[in-house]
Structure 1
Amino acid sequence: MRTPEISLILATVGRTDELARLFESLAAQTYSNFEVIVVDQNDDDRLLPHLDRARYLGISVRHLRHHPANLAAARNVGIEAATGKWIGFPDDDCWYSPRLLDRLATRFAAVDEPDGIIVRWVEQDEQPLSAADLSWERSRAFRDIPVSSITLFCNRALFKEIGGFDSRLGVGQWFGAGEETDFAMRALRGGAHFTYEPLGEVHHAVNPHKPQANRQTRTAVRHRARGTGALYAKHHLPAWVILRGLVAPLLRPLLKGSFGAELALGYDTMMGRIDGMLGWRRRHS
C-alpha cells in the first residue's frame, strides 16, 4: 500500500448525516493518493456506519478517538497521526470540488514550493479570483485573505517546525475562534511561504438570512469574537489595527442607518473582542 501524499484530518462531534456529502465528494476526486483521519469526539459509535460507507467508496479512512471535545486539540491529534506530506482540515459539513486535491498536488509541486495554500471558499463571494502570496505585514494588519480551516492546506513539516493549533483557541474554548488564523500568522511571521489559489475550490453552505439579535445569537457572536481579541493580544498587533477592529462593527451599521439587529450584533462583536484581548492578557501575561 502506497503512502498517501495528502492527509485530510476530519475532527467531528455531534454530526452524522452531513458526513455523507463530504465522503461522496472525496470519492469523486480526480486525485486518489490521500487518506482521511477521522478524529471522533463523540461518546458513542454513531460514526461507524458512515466510516464503513466511506471505505466502501474506496476512501482510505483511519478512525481515532479524542476526549474531551476540543476542535484544535483534536486536529493536533490528527496531525500527529498523519503520514501525508500535506495536510488539510475539512469540516464535517463541507465538501470538495472534484479537482481540488489534484490542483493542490500540482500547486505544492510548483517551482516556488509553497509551505501552505489557501483555497477559495466558493460560497464566500468576497474572496478574490486571482492568485496572490500572503505576507506577515498584511496579515498583522488583518488585510490578507481570510483564513478558514476548510481552506487551509499545509506541508506537514511546517507543523513540526512551529507547532500545531493553539488549543486555547477555537470551538469549545472560552476564546471561541481564531485557531486557524493564529496558525497562519505564526507561520507567516516565521517566514513560511503561503499562497492563495482561487482555482482550488471548497464548498460550505452559508446562511443567506440576516441573523436575528436574539440572546442565543448574540451570545454566540460575542463568544466567537473573543478569538479575534485574543489574536490582538497574542500577536501584539498595532494599536491602529485594534482600534479599527473595535470601531468597525459599530461604524458599519451606523453608516448604513441600520439601528436594529445589525447594530446589536456589532456591539456584541466589539465587546467580545475587548473580552478576548483583556482575557488573553490576564491569563497569559
Structure 2
Amino acid sequence: MGVGELDLDGLDGGVLSLRPAPGGPPIGPGEAYVLVRLRGRPVGTVLGRIGQGDDAAEVLAGAARGQLTGFVAAEAPAPAPVPPRTSVVVATRERPGQLARALDSLLEQDHPDYEILVVDNNPVTDQTRTLVERHYAALGVRYVVEPVPGLAAAHNRGVAAARGEILAFTDDDVIADRRWLSSLAAPFAGDAELGCVTGLILPARLTTPAQILLESHGGFTKGFAPRHFDPRRPPADEPLFPFTAGRFGSGANMAFRAAALRAVGGFDPATGTGTPARGGDDLYAFARIVVAGHRLSYTPEALVWHHHRETWRDLENQAYGYGAGLTAYLTAIIARRPALLPALLARVPRGLAHALAISAHRADGAPSVPGEHGSRSHPWPRSLSRLERRGMLYGPLGYLRARHRVRGHRPLWETAR
C-alpha cells in the first residue's frame, strides 16, 4: 500500500502537490493511504485505489472531497506565536540507521531556536556515539549516555542535560515534518499554564500485514481536531479523566514545559520500554502534568511519520506491552501519589469497561482515521486481544519489579544540586 501526502488549494480547489511519505516510493497503481493537507495544514487521511493509467493526484483528490467534508475545520488557525527555545530529546539504543534518518529530519526544522540531544540508553556498542560524533556533532547535536536501561531513565537524562524552556521528545524511528517542532512548541508561548503538548503521528510505511493491521485499528493517530484538556474543567466526553492518559497523545510526539516536568519529578524510571513494566512512561508523565494542575493540548499541526514495526512478532510484543504499560502507569500514579487512590477507585467500574473495550476482538475493525481505513477487511485478532489483557494483568507486577531495580533513584537535576 502506498503512503503519501496530498496538498489541496481548499477542499474543492486544485491539487498543489502529491508526494510520497518521506523516503518512500512514488504513489502508483494500487491502494494508497494519504495525508490530506489544505495549503499545508493537515486535515485528514483518506484511502484511494489508483488504476493503471489513472492520474493518482486526481483520484486521491476526489477521494478527499468525498470523505473529508465532515472533518475539515471551517477556518484555519490563527498564526502561531514565536516558539520558545526548545530542546529535542531522542532516546535510542543500537539503531544507528534509524537514528540517522530521524536526525536528518530534525536538523531541517523551521524552529528558530532549538537544540538536539541524543541519549544513548545502556549501550553495548559504540555505534551511536560514532554516528553522532562523525556526522552530527559538528551540526550541533549533543550526545549523552544513560547507563540505566529503560526509556524513562533515558528521557530523564535528557531532561537533566537540556537547556531549553520547552522539552520535546520523539523516537529514533520517526521522520519529523519540517514544521513539527515549531508547531509543537509555539502553543507554550501563548499559554503560561500549558504544561504539555502532543501531536499527530502517521505511518511512514504500510507495506506489511502487521503495519496495516495496526493502522487499521487506529495506530497512534489521535485525529485531526485540536483538543484541550484542563483539570479545572474536565471534558464531558472523558468520564475517566485524568486517568485516560492514552487519549492525550503518545510518547513519539510530545513536549513539556521544562519547569513543569521537572517539578513533578520527570518520568518514572520504573516505567517504559526496556524495563519490566514494558511501557507507560509517557502516560505517567501526561497524567502527572494534568494532576499537577497544568493544561494539556493536542495539535495535529505537529506531525511526525512513524515507522511501525514490520513483523507479526513485533505486533504481538506491542499488544502485550500496551496492556502492561497501561496498568503499570496506573500503578505508578498511585505509588507516587497515594492521595489519588480514591479518585481512581471511583473510576474502576468504567475503567474496567474501557480496558475491556480497547482490548476486545473487533471483527469489523475499529478505525479511528477518516476514510474508515481497514474496516471489515482487517479484523483485530482474538490472539492480540488476549495478549493485551494478559499484559494488563502483568503490568502492576512489572512495575513493582522495575521499581525495585531503581530503588533510591532521584531525578538527575535534583542530585546535581
Tell me how far 1:195 sits from its aligned partner: 0.9
Equivalent pair of 1:134/1:195 in contact (CA under 8 Å): yes
Alignment map for 1:68-217 (pairs within 5 Å): 68-111=148-191, 114-123=194-203, 124=219, 126-136=221-231, 137=234, 138=238, 139-142=241-244, 145-207=247-309, 212=312
- Deviations along 1:172-211, one digit per CA (max 9) or x if unpaired, are 111101111111101101111111111111221235x7x7
For residues 161 and 193 of structure 1, the distance between their equivalents in structure 2, rounded to whole angstroms, comes to 15
Tell me how far 1:133 sits from its aligned partner: 0.6
Indicate the residue corresponding to 1:50 in structure 2. 131
Structure 1 residues 185 and 66 mapped into 2: Cα distance closer, same or farther (>3 Å)?
same
Aligned-pair identity in percent equals 24
- TM-score, reference length from structure 2: 0.59
Secondary structure of 2:302 counterpart: strand
Structure 1 residues 276 and 85 mapped into 2: Cα distance closer, same or farther (>3 Å)?
same
More strand by share: 2
For residues 316 and 220 of structure 2, the distance between their equivalents in structure 1, rounded to whole angstroms, comes to 24
Indicate the residue corresponding to 1:225 in structure 2. 323
Structure 1 residues 162 and 6 mapped into 2: Cα distance closer, same or farther (>3 Å)?
same
Tell me how far 1:280 sits from its aligned partner: 5.2
Amino acid of the structure 2 residue aligned with 1:44: T
- Deviations along 1:80-120, one digit per CA (max 9) or x if unpaired, are 11110000112111121111222234322115552211111
Indicate the residue corresponding to 1:240 in structure 2. 349
For residues 90 and 250 of structure 1, the distance between their equivalents in structure 2, rounded to whole angstroms, comes to 26
Tell me how far 1:246 sits from its aligned partner: 4.1
Amino acid of the structure 2 residue aligned with 1:270: R
Equivalent pair of 1:95/1:204 in contact (CA under 8 Å): yes
For residues 232 and 105 of structure 1, the distance between their equivalents in structure 2, rounded to whole angstroms, comes to 28
For residues 147 and 127 of structure 1, the distance between their equivalents in structure 2, rounded to whole angstroms, comes to 7
Equivalent pair of 1:174/1:226 in contact (CA under 8 Å): no
Tell me how far 1:64 sits from its aligned partner: 1.1
Indicate the residue corresponding to 1:271 in structure 2. 390
Tell me how far 1:282 sits from its aligned partner: 9.4
Structure 1 residues 250 and 40 mapped into 2: Cα distance closer, same or farther (>3 Å)?
closer
Structure 1 residues 230 and 106 mapped into 2: Cα distance closer, same or farther (>3 Å)?
closer
Structure 1 residues 20 and 220 mapped into 2: Cα distance closer, same or farther (>3 Å)?
closer
More helix by share: 1
Indicate the residue corresponding to 2:362 in structure 1. 253
* Structure 1 residues without counterparts, runs of 5 or longer: none
Amino acid of the structure 2 residue aligned with 1:133: H
Q: Does 1:15 align with 2:134?
A: no
Tell me how far 1:218 sits from its aligned partner: 4.2
Amino acid of the structure 1 residue aligned with 2:357: A
Secondary structure of 1:43 counterpart: coil
For residues 119 and 245 of structure 2, the distance between their equivalents in structure 1, rounded to whole angstroms, comes to 32
Amino acid of the structure 2 residue aligned with 1:189: V
Amino acid of the structure 1 residue aligned with 2:227: A
Secondary structure of 1:17 counterpart: helix
- Deviations along 1:10-53, one digit per CA (max 9) or x if unpaired, are 11111011122212212221124111111113232212443132
For residues 43 and 250 of structure 1, the distance between their equivalents in structure 2, rounded to whole angstroms, comes to 35
- TM-score, reference length from structure 1: 0.83
* Structure 2 residues without counterparts, runs of 5 or longer: 1-83, 204-218, 335-340, 366-375, 404-417
Tell me how far 1:68 sits from its aligned partner: 3.4
Between structure 1 and structure 2, the one with the greater Rg is 2
Secondary structure of 1:253 counterpart: coil
How many residue pairs match? The answer is: 274
Structure 1 residues 202 and 162 mapped into 2: Cα distance closer, same or farther (>3 Å)?
same
Secondary structure of 2:124 counterpart: coil
Q: Which has the higher contact order (CA 8 A, sep 6+)?
A: 1
